[in-house]
Chains A and B, each alone.
Chain A
Amino acid sequence: MSKSIQSVQCEHLDKMDIVWDRPDTLIDVPMHYCPGCGHSVVHRLIMEVVQELNIQDITIGVAPVGCSVFSYNYMDVDMQEAAHGRATAVATGIKRVLPDKIIYSYQGDGDLAAIGTAETIHTINRGENIVMIFVNNGIYGMTGGQMAPTTLKGSVTSTTPTGRDLSIHGHPLNIAEMIAILPGAYYVTRQAVNSAKTVRKTKKALLRGFKNQIDGKGGVSFIEVVSNCPSGWKMTPLQSNKWLDDNMLGTYPLGDIKVPEKIA
């Protein structure tokens, strides 16, 4: 596998202390994501967690349909690519025949909160012991920027050219709050990846989710990550990170929604 430009440039620094490195679990290839896209950060965080927990050889991931459809090209674990919306049904099939393996699903908002809503609710309601990762950027990125179930009120997309009108298109869907009431939801949190601080918190949440599964805690660990879509939002990466702070978090406030200690 060819080394990336960064790692070649870093070679002459090998006598110095390494303070930042790519986890071995993240395949060393350029990603196809747009500049500034949050997917690459979330991928990296998941793979850091897999490396730190030393579970690479027992982890099986499920990729969705959407921008992260190719995530198996970057995350170096066994993976299955599911039909649109069905990632958690596929994850259920895997976990039920291989209960000792660590299973995670990775889905966007269209996949998890629109076409796959039934699978989302019932996978959680069965309390499957898996990690569900939900990347919410309020738009259909791959298909060219159409309205998602999580698109904010007034947002202009390619299918809401005059902005999302709640009386016509319905309301932004707070799926994390919805599923948190289900007994099968063990841990529900909403984090973001638009700043160093939020990235660190997302990593913590992922670590907690995977640990829950390793410990055999009953139920889904559901980790929503509010993310950006510079291309779809028609902004620079920096603008998108600020816009996320100023607009997304009002509808999708960050923080733990359900933690086991609090319900115990």
Chain B
Amino acid sequence: MKKRVSEKILMKGNEAIAEAAIRAGVKAYFGYPITPQSELLEYMSAQLNSRGGVFLQAESEVAAINMVYGAAGCGERVMTSTSSPGFSLMQEGISYIASAELPCLLVNVQRGGPGLGTIQPAQSDYFQAVKGGGHGDYNLIVLAPNSVQEMANFTYLGFDLADQYRTPVLILADGALGQMMEPVVFPDYDIVKNKVDHSSWATRGKKDGKQHVITTLHIEPEKMEIINNHLQEKYRDICDKEIRFEATKTDDAEILLIAYGLSSRIAHHALELARDEGLKVGLFRPITLYPFPYRQIRALTKKVDSILTVEMNAGQMVEDVRLAVGEKVPVHFYGRTGGVIPQPEEILEKIRAISIAPQMEKIF
């Protein structure tokens, strides 16, 4: 597909990630079909082999993530994508990848759960995404796009962050973002300039007299703790440098909406409806869910009277919001689950209620 770099293209979010990944020089993609992300897999199957990479459909998500481990261990730019049940299957492998510090890009186009759930969009894998997900003490960098354009942008960013920190990076999207079509412009990206040299640790054949080993086994507790301390130091560094967020109309806001991904767009619509009624509503959108913008949210508690967190789940990010806010202002929650998308009017209703009675909700 030959397109001018600056050209605007109408694409599905899933396809935008695939196209951006190819433009970012992805060397290998390993995946397994699951709705609502299969367009990403299909796009890769049609494009990647003829554009300098390797596409392989694995026998399962378990195999796919371990293929990612093997290829990433060779220092190549690799990725996989899946949806919620498949992401659960990948957790063991992701824990290994985080421990072995292998750079790679993961994509979870979330659907409603638990269990087989539904194929409709949801945000109910937040805990799994931002608190590690598999066994052991580790975190992923988690990017939450809210448009097809950001699906593309964060693909480049995700690969770069993965290389920079030698860590897996997750794009946490949802079925709506994956399926909806929007215009997207693929930015200039210099693969050669952005290439990071991994030859000091990657397994590519013992050339320099030094054996390279990718392992996550450190049987002596003291050694395992050293690895853990190193990982934690890296995560602190990431928390210092990589927090990303977007604040809209927060300067005069009395009620602050906090939402990410698709729900941030719905919340933005609710904000406009509320402003039309004269209600002073602002919107804070975490773009990185890990590292989470605790400090930035805490700073806003000096300005606002109350907070309403909107999510497509039963209340997950709201726990991090409450951690940031403490008892400073009341924190309310509005969510729909199971693949039901909250409507702006429902959120507006909640905003109206809060504007009349902004007291703290009982959470325990």
Contacts and interface: CB of A to CB of B under 8 A. Distances in A.
Interface in B44-91: 54, 56, 58-60, 62-64, 66-74, 76, 78
Contact of B205 (A78, A91, A93): A78
B92 interface: yes
Contact of A80 (B62, B73, B205): B73
Interface in A110-127: 118-119, 121-122
A48 interface: no
Contacts of A97: 27-28, 54, 71, 74, 76, 78
B232 interface: no
Interface residues of B, number: 37
Nearest to A91: B70
Contacts of A89: 58, 62-64, 66-67, 69-70
A90 B96 CA distance: 12
Contacts of A98: 74, 204-205
Contacts of A78: 203-206, 211-213
A90 B58 CA distance: 12
B67 A93 contact: yes
B214 interface: yes
A97 B69 CA distance: 12
A27 B76 CA distance: 28
Nearest to B77: A97
B67 A81 contact: no
A82 interface: yes
Contact of B67 (A56, A90, A101, A118): A90
Contacts of B54: 96-97
B215 A81 contact: yes
A132 interface: no
Contacts, number: 125
Contacts of A101: 204-205
B290 interface: no
Contacts of B63: 86, 89, 92, 118-119, 122
Given A77-B206, A97-B27, A118-B63, A82 B211 contact: no
Interface residues of A, number: 33
A199 interface: no
A121 B59 CA distance: 10
Contacts of A96: 28, 54, 56, 67, 71
A93 B211 contact: no
Contacts of B70: 62, 80, 82, 89-94
A72 interface: yes
Interface centre among B64, B71, B92 (most CB of A within 10 A): B71
Nearest to B212: A78
Nearest to A89: B66
Interface string A122-151: 100000000000000000000000000000
Interface string A56-86: 1111101100000110100011111111001
B350 to A, nearest CB: 44
B333 to A, nearest CB: 37
A79 B214 contact: yes
Given A78-B204, A78-B206, A94 B66 contact: no
Contacts of B64: 89
Interface centre among A70, A97, A122 (most CB of B within 10 A): A97
B73 A69 contact: no
A73 to B, nearest CB: 9
Interface in A148-171: none
Contacts of B30: 93
A96 B30 CA distance: 10
Interface of B: 27-28, 30, 54, 56, 58-60, 62-64, 66-74, 76, 78, 92-93, 96, 203-207, 211-217
26 contacts: A57-B206, A59-B206, A62-B70, A69-B217, A72-B215, A78-B206, A79-B203, A79-B211, A80-B70, A80-B203, A89-B63, A89-B66, A89-B67, A89-B70, A91-B70, A92-B70, A93-B30, A93-B71, A94-B73, A96-B71, A97-B27, A101-B205, A118-B59, A118-B62, A119-B62, A122-B63
| In the A-B complex, the 5 residue pairs with the closest CB atoms | A93-B70, A93-B67, A90-B70, A89-B66, A86-B66
Interface of A: 56-60, 62-63, 69-70, 72, 76-83, 86, 89-94, 96-98, 101, 118-119, 121-122
